[in-house]
Amino acid sequence: MIRLIRLKRRHPAFSGDFFDRYEENGEIEFTWRKYASCCSLRFSLKTMRGEVCYTADGPEMVHEAL
């Protein structure tokens, strides 16, 4: 949880636009974007698993399981 708080404080995507998506199968996705910066939180209510995906120093996404 502390890693998520730190990410939110420092990642430029959080000062951009917010998008959300909800699927009938229980999948939820929250995404923040600002220019080339992106951060997404994906979570399944069915499996109770999730991941955070974000851009670091380039266009490639970093994936971290929750």
CA–CA distance, 24 with 43 (Å, rounded to integer) = 13
Q: Is 32 helix (H, G, I), strand (E, B) or coil?
A: strand
The model's pTM is: 0.86
- The 10s digit of each residue's pLDDT in 46-59 is 999 999 999 987 77
Instruction: List the chain domain ranges.
Output: 2-65
Residue 41 CB: number of other CB atoms within 10 A?
A: 19
Structure tokens at 45: 């209510």
Q: Which residues of the chain have pLDDT under 50?
A: none
The CATH homologous superfamily of the domain defined by 2-65: alpha-Amylases (2.20.220.10)
